[in-house]
């Protein structure tokens, strides 16, 4: 379940926000969905597979940005935040974080190439008509979390900062208590 604000709608598990001609689609992905995504792309592997086998999985969000407006959009994904209802804030993992997570694994090079190809991590500008899709990966949320808010900080349309928020209910399974 998603709670929606103005200019927002739920589409399946995703929240779609439209502001200033920009469409932002944010969708949490289960590990199986992330596997399917990477399996459909030759040469890439799921960089999270088996990384946190002894604990709650890292969280993956697919973010699609589509600039259908008349002004450029500037986005700094490193400023995005995942916040739980208790106010605990987590920033997305960086490339360096992934390097530390997978450096000892036999397929570390392939995992890191997959991260580079798919993760939203660097400042980007979308001209009118431009599109960009990528992933944000976050540390697990608190075991007691029931809701999380994905806040896209540092999101500018035509030089004006625009708040973009999406709230998601945390779904629990018996096998992995911290999944969304």
Instruction: Quote the pLDDT of residue 111.
Output: 93
Instruction: Quote the pLDDT of residue 22.
Output: 94
Instruction: Quote the pLDDT of residue 127.
Output: 97
**What domains are defined for the chain?**
2-169 (2.60.40)
Report CA 109 to chain centroid distance, whole Å. Answer: 22
**Is the Cβ–Cβ distance between 148 and 82 less than 8 Å?**
yes
pTM: 0.87
Residue 175, pLDDT > 80, answer: no
Instruction: Quote the pLDDT of residue 52.
Output: 74
Q: Which of 51-55, 141-145, 155-159 is least confident?
A: 51-55
Residue 180, pLDDT > 70, answer: no
Instruction: Quote the pLDDT of residue 120.
Output: 93
Residue 1, pLDDT > 80, answer: no
Confidence label for 115 from pLDDT (cuts 50, 70 and 90): very high
3-class DSSP string for 52-117: CCCCCCCEEEEEEEEECCCCCEEECHHHCEEEECCCCEECCCCHHHHHHHHCCCCCHHHHHHHHHH
Instruction: Quote the pLDDT of residue 172.
Output: 58
Confidence label for 112 from pLDDT (cuts 50, 70 and 90): very high
């Amino acid at each position: 379940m998603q709670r929606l604000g103005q200019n927002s709608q739920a589409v399946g598990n995703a929240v779609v926000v439209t502001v200033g001609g920009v469409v932002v689609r944010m969708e949490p992905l289960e590990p199986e969905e992330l596997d399917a995504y990477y399996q459909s792309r030759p040469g890439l592997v799921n960089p999270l597979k088996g990384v946190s086998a002894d604990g709650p999985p890292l969280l993956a969000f697919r973010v699609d940005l589509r600039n259908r407006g008349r002004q450029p959009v500037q986005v700094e994904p490193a400023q995005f935040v995942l916040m739980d209802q208790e106010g605990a804030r987590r920033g997305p993992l960086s490339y360096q974080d992934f390097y530390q997570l997978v450096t000892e694994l036999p397929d570390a090079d392939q995992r890191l190439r997959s991260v580079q190809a798919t993760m939203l991590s660097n400042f980007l500008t979308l001209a009118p008509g431009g599109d960009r899709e990528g992933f944000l990966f976050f540390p697990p949320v608190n075991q007691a979390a029931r809701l999380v808010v994905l806040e896209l900080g540092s999101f500018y349309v035509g030089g004006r900062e625009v708040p973009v928020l999406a709230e998601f209910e945390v779904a629990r399974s018996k096998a992995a208590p911290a999944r969304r």
